[in-house]
């Protein structure tokens, strides 16, 4: 499993810190693919949890 695939699946994690981690990864990760996966996962998280 690649790092971007791992990050992409993080939106399902029940931890209240998930959004914080995904936000940080999306903003500072040097690999564009991983940062984009984090942004997409964050969007999914917010959409599914009603926080968007």
**What does the pLDDT profile of the chain (52 residues) look like in tens digits?**
899 999 999 999 999 899 999 999 999 999 999 999 999 999 999 998 665 4
- The residue segments making up the domain with residue 11 are 3-49
What pLDDT shows up at residue 50? 62
Q: Judge contact between 41 and 9, C-beta under 8 A.
A: yes
Q: Which two tokens stand for residue 21?
A: 């981690």
What gap in Å lies between CA 52 and CA 2, rounded to an integer?
27
What pLDDT shows up at residue 51? 54
Q: Domain count for the chain, please give it.
A: 1
């Amino acid at each position: 499993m690649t790092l971007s695939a791992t990050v992409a699946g993080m939106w399902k994690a029940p931890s209240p810190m998930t959004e914080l981690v995904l936000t940080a990864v999306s903003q500072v990760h040097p690999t564009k693919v991983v940062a984009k996966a984090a942004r997409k996962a964050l969007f999914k998280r917010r959409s599914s949890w009603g926080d968007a």
